A and B are shown apart, each in its own frame.
Chain A
């Protein structure tokens, strides 16, 4: 499958010129973020970490704290995290670099939020870690369905079977879903699990 507008990711690299670092990661991305921070012995002391996932406040947050990160926060879900991240961005000044490591949905939403603060998507350093689960927006009802692993998924909002396109909207941090039986009502291609 060729995925054209999908963002490309590489390994996170520390911006050594930055005065401060804001690191957003989920449990899958925590190791990548820690590896990056370890490449410098001064970075952690100037780093705000927001780690996401159930129980992240206990395990991963502790690991970042013991590395010396000066502000460590944890949120159980991406939604809750975005609320806190909004406050972090609102106070951040120039000379700050933003990093995100985790699943595509987290990357997409972090980039979209940063963009509202005047940060270009290319300015956010990104590393994809973990599942390829997609966040899909139904083009018909605009509802967003999370954690999609199958090609042909039922829209959680309007119930239409959706074909998940490879078109990724950076603004929404979501892939586009279009009605799968538009050609011939009721005729659906087989459902396959493809985004793991």
Chain B
């Protein structure tokens, strides 16, 4: 699959919405309307960071009623590869950015009788558009939103004002506990569960649901796993006949893209499976960071998800 052309956008507003969280509004540089998106969609933002381009996926929050504007929220992550820090420190109103077309990997199930949404921290973002849509269509749902502290509870005021009766807040430092089992118990047949937040929370929620006998097809999650950095290494692309250096703070996918090679990808978080690439050889240890490949696949050393996984050192030769 080859990617569609990036869209040039201009930042029209930057707002500080909570501790370490900024909201960016953007419109097309040519003034035209942006592609329609469905709640749950994300876009990839390209960041011309010195030392190598970065591309991070961000959920589109809305607004659903303005075809000219997209809004995303970015949490500053200190120990990341620098993308979120670039957004926080270097992006201002009037700046141009390149973004991808929206893509939805977190679509609400249309036949569901009820939706349970569980958000941890910045994981609230995909649910902003979703809850607006549910409320407007009188679809039954409940949102459980857990944060570390009140100061980090982005959009809590908007949510209380607009859909207060559907929202439950949990502040960690005030001793509120999000009790997954209690939320899950007694839910009617046909209830679907969606979770977005830190890795540990996603796994805890999904595992609790599995233990309560919820079939896999009712469980949905969005993992925006920040691809970990590592040591620098080289990638040899056999089909493109190129050798690309991957610096410590870039992913294989980003390095390959910067070299002009169009590699398939969708989620950039090691979840969707799009970027699976065959390994021809590798002379250093593989570091698999994805949620997609089976343990056997990982052990075989024949495949790699290039959006998040890397090599400890040396040269990785890929069928790309």
- Could you list which residues of chain A lie within 8 angstroms of chain B, going by C-beta atoms? 15, 17-20, 89, 92-97, 115, 117-120, 122-123
Chain B residues 24-44 with CB under 8 Å of chain A are: none
Cβ contact within 8 Å between B189 and A15: no
Contacts of A93 in B (CB 8 A): 185-189
Is residue B112 within 8 Å, beta carbon to beta carbon, of the partner chain? Answer: yes
In the complex, the number of residue pairs spanning A and B with C-beta atoms less than 8 Å apart equals 59
- Residues on A with beta carbons closer than 8 Å to the beta carbon of B212: 19, 94-95
- In this complex, which of A92, A93, A94, A120 has the most chain B Cβ atoms within 10 angstroms of its Cβ? A94
With known contacts A118-B189, A118-B192, A119-B189, A94–B214 Cβ distance under 8 A: yes
CB of A94 within 8 A of CB of B210, answer no
Which residues in chain B, 180-237, are within 8 Å of chain A measured between CB atoms?
184-192, 210-215, 217-218
**Is B133 at the interface (CB under 8 A from chain A)?**
no
Determine whether the beta carbon of A95 is less than 8 Å from that of B112: no
Q: Please pick, from B109, B111, B187, B211, the residue contacting A94 in the complex, using a CB distance under 8 A.
A: B187
Interface residues of B (CB under 8 A from A): 109, 111-114, 184-192, 210-215, 217-218
**Using Cβ atoms and an 8 Å threshold, which residues of chain B touch A120?**
109, 111, 217
A20 / chain B contacts, CB cutoff of 8 Å: 213
- Chain B CB within 10 Å — which of A15, A92, A95, A115 has the most? A95
Residue in B189, B190, B191, B215 with the greatest tally of chain A CB atoms within 10 Å: B189
What CA separation (Å) do A92 and B114 show in the bound complex? 13
Chain B residues, CB < 8 A from A115: 111
Determine whether the beta carbon of A94 is less than 8 Å from that of B184: yes
Return B192 CB to nearest CB of chain A, in Å: 7
Residue among B113, B184, B190, B214 with max Cβ neighbours from chain A (10 Å): B190
Give bound CA distance, A94 to B210, whole Å: 11
Do residues B188 and A15 form an inter-chain contact, with CB atoms below 8 A? no
State how many angstroms separate the Cβ of A166 from the closest Cβ of chain B. Answer: 25
Residues of A within 8 A of B211 (CB): 17
Expressed in whole angstroms, the Cα–Cα distance for A20 and B113 within the complex equals 19
Query: Which residues on A sit within 8 Å (CB–CB) of B188?
Result: 92-94, 117
Contacts of A18 in B (CB 8 A): 213, 215
Residue in A closest to B190 when the chains form the complex, CB atoms? A118
Given contacts A94-B184, A118-B113, contact A19 B190 (CB under 8 A): no
Given A94-B184, A94-B218, residue A117 in contact with residue B213 (CB < 8 A): no
Given contacts A92-B189, A94-B191, contact A118 B112 (CB under 8 A): yes
List of B residues within 8 angstroms of A89 by Cβ: 189
